Structure 1
Amino acid sequence: MKLLVIWRLLTVGGVNAGWRNRAIFFKKHGIDIEFLYCKDLGGLHMMKDVAAVYVTKDEKEIHHLLEYNHYDAVIVVDTNQAYKWLSQTNSRRPILIEARTPEIIKLKRNLEGFDKVNPVKFVVPSEHQRRVLSILVKHNSPIEVIYNGVDTSFFRKLPEDQIDMMADPIVSNKKIVAYIGRLDQRKNWKQLLKIAKLVQSERDDIEFWVIGGDQSKDRIKFENQRDKQQLNEFIKWFPVIPYQQMPHLYAKIKQSGGCTIATTKGESFGNTFIEAMACGVPVVAPNVSSIPEIVVHKKTGYLFRENNIKEAAESIYTILDDPFLYEHLSNAAIQRVNNHFSISQCATKYIDMLHNVMKES
């Protein structure tokens, strides 16, 4: 089987991390994947070593790909331009739509024109996202929930002698609280600064790391606010960390006795949660959208009420100050990923769905 995945943005984010993991697993099971993106936002390095990648908006090039590369199926991820391209070709291949955008207004925009291609199935990464999508499509539309999977042979608890301590970020003697992801309105970096400011006023044994955000639209605003609030030393920012270094990053957080922190307003899934958990790092996150499907409160991390800065800080302290609780959370997090979010489980479910789609087409 040969598939084409179309998504407009080649980022170092959860969508591409999920598809990278799937592509590697699929190849072992006789399924080749190629990727078509409209724009590279710094994610090429994480995809080019696993599959063929095309980055273009040129309609002639795209039509050529669709006509002559003999794809058995096409998967469109939140890219409404693709419906036009696909409707202009003569192929009868099945088309699936992955609806990943958590904001309903943006998701509606990304789905505009999907009826031109008669998709055989919608795929979503969580039950929460199924509920969001069901508002926008017919009540009898086939929607399949398939969680993102993580490669637990790559993201795992590393022995101390295998951790790359010389690569950035360099650890100090403080406990690390790490925010991982873009710097934009939905990821809610302003709330992160409020939490960090509160922690700075109460503790001297903790430091924050911000990982990523090099291509984010709010990066300059973040820099200015971090400086204005005198948080430059307390919040260390690493705009670019290669994807291949992420297990070492999580290992450093765990070695310090730290955790990750999310302040997002909503997620359809959240790959950084399962990556951290697979490496034994507890997660602190708001109790919103799909997050409770991933992070179990007081078992694999702590969930705080949305916008409750004090509760977020107290959750961090609870995890960092109790070594016995920390190890319990760490071990339970690893076990939860193994039981529910391993790539072998999630990608196998995806493969089974694809085979069923091909039989019915």
Structure 2
Amino acid sequence: MKVLFIYYISSGGVETLNRHRNAALTQAGVECHFLYKMQGTGHQNLEGIRTFVMNNPVEISNLIKREKYDLIVVCSDDKMLEPIKRSGFEGILIFEVQGLGNHRTAQRFFVQNGRHINRYADAILLPKTHHLVKLAQTYLPKLPRFSFHNCFDSNAFTHKSFQKSPLPIIGWVGRIEKNKNWQTYLEIGRRLIQKKHMIKLWMFIDDTLYERSQYQLFLKRIEDPNLKNHLTIFKNIRNDVMADYYSKIADSGGIVCSTSKVEGFGYTLVEAMSCGCPVLTTDSDGVKSIVQDAKTGIYMKNGQLADAVNKAEQLLTNETLRVKLIRNARVNIKSRFSLNKYATEFMKMYNSLRK
């Protein structure tokens, strides 16, 4: 069996998902190819994975004809569905939903593109994210729908030992855009420093993908003298190296903070947990499958900074709580997001559509 996964750009959560599901499906005997229309910063992570970068419809059509795929999964780029069908592709064509931003943006996407997806896709695939499942039920009620958890190779991406940092580190990973809510992270850090907590702030960003107005605000904000001496910005770090940084955060007695308004999934939290980092996060829908409050992580109330700072202080100072969260989080990741489970669900989907 041969599968092609298509996405806009080799960057972000979908690029991470593709690497992990390549590991899952390869173990199950599936040959996976990946096509990105643009090369992003995540391309540096794709060593040893059959990957194409092309945007020309004729080249894409020729690739599909040459490779004779059994199944093609198009993620988020609904405009790719029609040309694939018109190219003469006779296999199964699945439209996958990941992310799509906040609730309003996601709903607008389904309203504008639902008819198009329904016409050309054979089925829809999406993670177990409540608002995405509900929108798919509403706007694509007749299309076969498959919803199962994304996967994660916790054996490959795990804790490593380094010299301990003398100060706790609070980490944040994301793009500089409104939905990622980076300003809340910096304000939490500023207030902790104001309360005399001796901490470091580490931000991991992609400086090639951002909202221009947000990035200008960001550049001004990080010049705040109350933050500047505590803050380090890391740009475009290779994914395998991120395990090193998460491990350093964990061993420092620090935490990873996620401030997103809405997430389709949340690979940042999974990666952090796999390396032993306690996590503080907003209840951004997609993280519900990852974080159970006070069991595998801690929720902060969105928009309530006093609550966020209080929860951060608990995680920094309560060693019993930290140990419990770290242990439970690792168990949850290994059981819920295993490669074997993903491969099993994926093959069930394929076999049901072949009939």
CA RMSD of aligned residues (A): 1.9
Q: Which residue of 2 aligns with 1:59?
A: 57
* Structure 2 unaligned residues grouped into runs of 5+: none
Q: Distance in 1 between matches of 2:269 and 2:108?
A: 23
Distance 2:108 2:15 in 1: 19
2:280 is the counterpart of 1:284: yes
Shift of 1:29: 1.9
Q: What per-residue deviation string (whole Å, max 9, x for no partner) do you get for residues 77-96 of structure 1? A: 00022023213211221111
1:50/1:348 CA distance change after superposition, 3 Å: farther
Equivalent of residue 134 in structure 1, options 137, 144, 167: 137
Corresponding position of 2:5: 5
57-66 or 258-267: bigger deviation:
57-66
What code does the residue aligned with 2:133 have? R
In the alignment, is the contact (CA less than 8 A) between 2:42 and 2:238 conserved in 1? no
Q: Which letter maps to 1:2?
A: K
- 1:226 maps onto 2:225 in alignment: no
SS in 2 for 1:276: helix
The one-letter code sitting in structure 2 at the alignment partner of 1:35 is: F
What residue in structure 1 maps to residue 328 of structure 2?
332
Q: Aligned letter for 1:191?
A: T
Aligned match of 1:255 in 231, 237, 251? 251
* C-alpha distance after superposition, 1:48-79 (max 9, x if no partner): x2422121211111111122211001101000
Tell me the equivalent position of 2:39.
40
Selected match of 2:177 from 166, 184, 187: 184
1:273 corresponds to which residue? 269
Partner of 1:148: 150
Letter matched to residue 188 of structure 1? N
Count of matched residue positions in the alignment of Structure 1 and Structure 2? 346
* 1:71 corresponds to: 69
Is the contact between residue 79 and residue 110 of structure 1 (CA under 8 Å) also seen in structure 2?
no
CA contact (8 A) 1:179 1:261 kept: yes
Cα deviations by residue, 1:281-323 (Å, 9 ceiling, x for unpaired) = 1110112312222101111111011111111111111011011
Deviating beyond 3 angstroms after TM superposition, the runs of 4 or more aligned structure 1 residues are 109-112, 218-221
Query: For 1:266, what is the secondary structure of its paired residue?
Result: coil
Find the aligned partners of 2:139 and 2:178 in 1 and give their Cα distance: 23
Q: Are the equivalent residues in 1 in contact too, given 2:165–2:251 (CA < 8 A)? A: no
User: Could you tell me the TM-score, scaled by structure 1's length?
Assistant: 0.90
Deviation at 1:102, TM superposition (A): 4.2
Deviations 1:112-142 (A, max 9, x none): 622342x23211111412123223222x432
Question: Aligned residue for 1:22?
Answer: 21
Counterpart amino acid of 1:81? K
Contact 2:78 2:95 (C-alpha < 8 Å) held by counterparts? no
Q: Which structure has more helix as a fraction of its residues?
A: 2
Q: Which runs of 5+ in 1 are unaligned?
A: 166-170
Measure how far apart 1:20 and its partner are.
Answer: 0.4
CA distance in 2, matches of 1:346, 1:233: 44
CA drift of 1:357 comes to 2.5
Q: Percent identity?
A: 23
| In 2: Cα distance, 1:61 partner to 1:263 partner | 40
**Higher mean displacement: 229-238 or 305-314:** 229-238
3-state SS in 1 of match to 2:125: strand
Is the alpha carbon distance of 1:188 and 1:107 closer, same or farther for their aligned partners in structure 2, counting shifts above 3 Å? same
Q: Classify 1:217/1:66 alpha carbon distance in 2 versus 1 (closer, same or farther; 3 Å).
A: same
Alpha carbons of structure 1 residues 238 and 18: separation in structure 2 relative to 1, 3 Å = same
Once the two structures are overlaid, the 10-residue window that deviates more, 261-270 or 194-203, is: 194-203
Bigger mean CA offset, 59-68 vs 107-116: 107-116
Aligned to 1:168: none
Of 103-112 and 317-326, more deviation after overlay is shown by 103-112
Shift of 1:348: 2.7
Deviations 1:238-297, CA, capped at 9 Å, x for gaps = 012111112211111110011110110101111111111222211101123122221011
Amino acid paired to 1:215: T
Corresponding letter in the other structure for 1:317:
E
Residue type at the aligned position of 1:277: M
Return the letter of the residue paired with 1:243.
N
Report 1:186-201 matches (<5 A): 186-201=179-194
